Chains A and B, each alone.
Chain A
Amino acid sequence: MSGPVSSLPAGGVARAPLRLRLATDRLAVRILLAVALSMLGAALLIALSGHGPLTAFAAMAVGAAGSAHQIGAALNRTTPYLLAGSGVALCFRAGIINIGAEGQIAVGGIGAVAVALATPAGMPPLLAILAALLGGALAGAAWAAVATAIHIGRHVHEVLATLLLNFVAVLLVQQALAGPLGQFGAGFLQSPLLPRAIWLPRLPLIEAHPGFLIALAVAAALSFVLWRTRFGFALRVAGASRPAAAYAGFSLARLTWGVMLLAGALAGLAGGIEVLGVQRRLIEGFSLGFGFKAVTVALLGALEPLAVVPAALFVGLLEAGALSMQRQIGVPSALVAVIEGLTMMFVLAATVRRA
């Protein structure tokens, strides 16, 4: 199988670990060019709707970062993309096309809320929060494990296994809300509001929850894993050539399990943070689109966990700014999805390694 890693530079080239060399990296230039092209495409579409592209972009920028409150909202928006996206990046590095982040986030949300609602009232808040987040991560990993077992045990392509399970996971959320976790008489499928003690606290000044900081630390740790550990080396070898990985003595099954569980746990954690920090309850469809955008972000970050940080910020800021653009000047916020799709297409075209 040739994963996207075979089409993206495997990056064993003289790259100082833990140090970004975006400025000198030709890959970075190509990715930035791809982003610029997709913004150009977006500008054309804005013009089509009868508005000025520059005005629209300005409104978007102000909406995303015009105030401390808005920056906080944008960072909150970025967090799940960064967590799930850097996990996906690691999978893609190994040539494993995990597009199950959506389902893993959804199930992570179920896990976190289940733990949170079961927490005894007297528990110290920090402990309760950690328990709920752990519940989310474990649930996400478990959901990834289902896909991995089908993939490894029965040789079903991982794209199909993870993709089909996404749909099941979203229905699982609905089932949980219709049953044990639901709030009766709400009219919507949602859980009761979580106890205040279990909400993620707000950071001073910017009103973001600390999830973004956790995600940053995770990205740094993953970059370390990728470049400075034997596991990371094995992932990179496997992504570049499966026969070479077997020859090097790495077990592909074990690598797949390792990286899938890791990515699943991170996506689950993303779901838990989203539920505890933003929604404060489980809502039907809260994970919608996160999983696919995690793929966008991973590719945009050239499958380098540290470079996924700006990539996730780009998407997070876009989305945070889009609603305000729609409110302010009436350009539909659906434009963001166009930009994301175009960016992904252009990045794919720009990062193919030509023989």
Chain B
Amino acid sequence: MTEFLAAAIRIATPLLLAALGGILSERAGVFAVGLEGMMLAGAFAATIGAWAGGSAAAGIGLALAGGAVIGLAVAVVAVRWRADNMVTGLAANILALGLTSYLLRVAAGGGGRPASIHLPLLGPWPIPVLADLPVVGKLLFAQPPLTYLALLGCVAFTLFLGRTQAGLALCATGENPEAAFAAGADPLRVRMLAVIACGAVAGLGGAVLSLQQVGTFTDGMTGGRGYLALASLIVGRWTPFGAAAACLVFGAAEAFELRLQTFGVPVSSYIVQMAPYLIALAVLAVLGRSARLPAAIGRPLEQ
């Protein structure tokens, strides 16, 4: 059971970081369809950073930057140039997929073969005393660093959105940018910064995959996790802890699938793999109209 929960947390961690980024973007009024590309860019940049810089810290730093670059692209096209949010996000995802695959091969000196990079995995940092607690100790206090970061992020983002002037301005921009402007905020700036920050945080989510779980970068290694993160932040009603809960559910579904495989239960793994997507659809369908989106989401800013 502990192992099952541990697996669920492991799978949920990259989703959660991406979802946290997405919350910033969507609460500011920009659909976060580009999470997949931001994660992918982050995973790639983390790999290159850790490989070239020789330390995980360099990887994490570059992951922030890599995700932010995709965020910047989305911000310029969708916010500054007022193009459709959703389609811009998709375009960013295609761009990130192409760019990371291409650069991975360029890093190998050109040609069709990708660079083969193998990194030591970021291991757990057990917190003294707490890590020795039964069950919870292992689950919550003996995790690798980026998992702690995701949990801290939940707390920090909740405080930021609810308790700070900047968070208030961000939410106001997503609800009614004209009113936010009249109250003295700068909606264009707020949205641009929110989307760029979204990229950086989602980039960390990608870094979890490459630095903490796989130890290398492979083409399209996010495999749709950005879209699941998007679903989880909607299911979690645009709140950090809500999104965390949704990510854990998706993580548990996937962990369950892994268990079934190990125990040779005669259920097709493909059907079980569909679970996260079907759960997301089912929850969205049940929420239906009551899923109250930020009122001005997807609406371009007036001049």
**Do A and B touch each other in the complex, judged by CB within 8 A?**
yes
Question: In the complex, what residues of A have CB within 8 A of residue B111's CB?
Answer: 326, 330, 332
Smallest Cβ-Cβ distance to B303: which chain A residue: A355
**Docked CA distance A161–B271 (Å):** 18
| CB of B226 to closest CB in A, whole Å | 10
Interface residues in A317-341 by Cβ distance below 8 A to B read 326-327, 330-341
Query: Are B73 and A345 in touch, CB under 8 angstroms?
Result: yes
| CB of A278 to closest CB in B, whole Å | 21
Question: In the complex, what residues of A have CB within 8 A of residue B90's CB?
Answer: 99, 292, 295, 344
**Docked CA distance A332–B83 (Å):** 30
Does B152 belong to the interface (CB within 8 Å)?
no
Number of interface residues of B (CB under 8 A): 56
Query: Are A334 and B94 in touch, CB under 8 angstroms?
Result: no
Does A163 belong to the interface (CB within 8 Å)?
yes
Query: Are A338 and B95 in touch, CB under 8 angstroms?
Result: yes
Does A35 belong to the interface (CB within 8 Å)?
no
Smallest Cβ-Cβ distance to B105: which chain A residue: A332
Interface string of B111-152 (1 = CB under 8 A from A): 110000000000000000000000000000000000000000
Identify which of B84, B99, B278 contacts A7 (C-beta below 8 A).
B84
Query: Are A348 and B87 in touch, CB under 8 angstroms?
Result: yes
A63-71, A173-181, A223-231 - the one binding chain B: A173-181
**Docked CA distance A349–B83 (Å):** 6
Query: Are A160 and B231 in touch, CB under 8 angstroms?
Result: yes
Smallest Cβ-Cβ distance to B227: which chain A residue: A163
Identify which of B91, B98, B285 contacts A154 (C-beta below 8 A).
B285
Does A171 belong to the interface (CB within 8 Å)?
yes
Question: In the complex, what residues of A have CB within 8 A of residue B9's CB?
Answer: none
Interface of B: prevailing SS: helix
Query: Are B271 and A167 in touch, CB under 8 angstroms?
Result: no
Q: Given A150-B285, A164-B231, A349-B77, A332 and B102 touching (CB < 8 A)?
A: yes
| CB of B44 to closest CB in A, whole Å | 12
Query: Are A160 and B94 in touch, CB under 8 angstroms?
Result: no
Interface of A: prevailing SS: helix
Identify which of B92, B102, B280 contacts A345 (C-beta below 8 A).
B92
| CB of B270 to closest CB in A, whole Å | 4
Smallest Cβ-Cβ distance to A92: which chain B residue: B87
A19-27, A43-51, A255-263 - the one binding chain B: A43-51
Query: Are A160 and B230 in touch, CB under 8 angstroms?
Result: yes
**Docked CA distance A345–B280 (Å):** 28
**Docked CA distance A154–B284 (Å):** 8
Query: Are B73 and A335 in touch, CB under 8 angstroms?
Result: no
Does A165 belong to the interface (CB within 8 Å)?
yes
Identify which of A154, A156, A161, A332 contacts B106 (C-beta below 8 A).
A332
Smallest Cβ-Cβ distance to A296: which chain B residue: B94
Smallest Cβ-Cβ distance to A173: which chain B residue: B270
**Docked CA distance A102–B88 (Å):** 18
- A-B CB contacts (within 8 Å), total count: 169
Interface string of B264-303 (1 = CB under 8 A from A): 0000101101100110110011101100000000111011
Smallest Cβ-Cβ distance to B87: which chain A residue: A4
Question: In the complex, what residues of A have CB within 8 A of residue B96's CB?
Answer: 341
Identify which of B33, B227, B298 contacts A164 (C-beta below 8 A).
B227
Q: How large is the interface on A (under 10, 10 to 19, 20 to 34, 35 or more residues)?
A: 35 or more
**Docked CA distance A293–B94 (Å):** 9
| CB of A153 to closest CB in B, whole Å | 8
**Docked CA distance A295–B92 (Å):** 13
Q: Given A160-B230, A167-B224, A175 and B270 touching (CB < 8 A)?
A: yes
**Docked CA distance A332–B98 (Å):** 10
Query: Are A156 and B101 in touch, CB under 8 angstroms?
Result: no
Query: Are B112 and A326 in touch, CB under 8 angstroms?
Result: yes
Q: Given A154-B284, A332-B110, A355-B303, A341 and B82 touching (CB < 8 A)?
A: no
Query: Are B92 and A341 in touch, CB under 8 angstroms?
Result: yes
Smallest Cβ-Cβ distance to B280: which chain A residue: A164
Interface centre among A51, A178, A345 (most CB of B within 10 A): A345
**Docked CA distance A195–B93 (Å):** 38
Query: Are B97 and A341 in touch, CB under 8 angstroms?
Result: yes
**Docked CA distance A12–B250 (Å):** 45
Identify which of A49, A156, A331, A344 contacts B95 (C-beta below 8 A).
A344
Question: In the complex, what residues of A have CB within 8 A of residue B87's CB?
Answer: 4, 97, 295, 299, 344, 348
Question: In the complex, what residues of A have CB within 8 A of residue B273's CB?
Answer: 171
Does A246 belong to the interface (CB within 8 Å)?
no
Does B81 belong to the interface (CB within 8 Å)?
yes
Query: Are A179 and B268 in touch, CB under 8 angstroms?
Result: yes
Q: Given A163-B227, A165-B281, A338-B98, A345 and B91 touching (CB < 8 A)?
A: yes
* Given A164-B227, A299-B87, A339-B98, 9 extra CB contacts under 8 A: A172-B274, A178-B268, A332-B112, A335-B102, A341-B94, A344-B87, A344-B90, A348-B83, A348-B88
The 9 closest A-B pairs by CB, nearest first: A341-B95, A337-B98, A334-B101, A344-B91, A338-B98, A332-B105, A4-B84, A341-B94, A348-B83
Listed A/B pairs (9) with beta-carbon separation below 8 Å: A4-B84, A4-B86, A7-B82, A49-B106, A150-B284, A154-B284, A172-B270, A292-B94, A337-B99
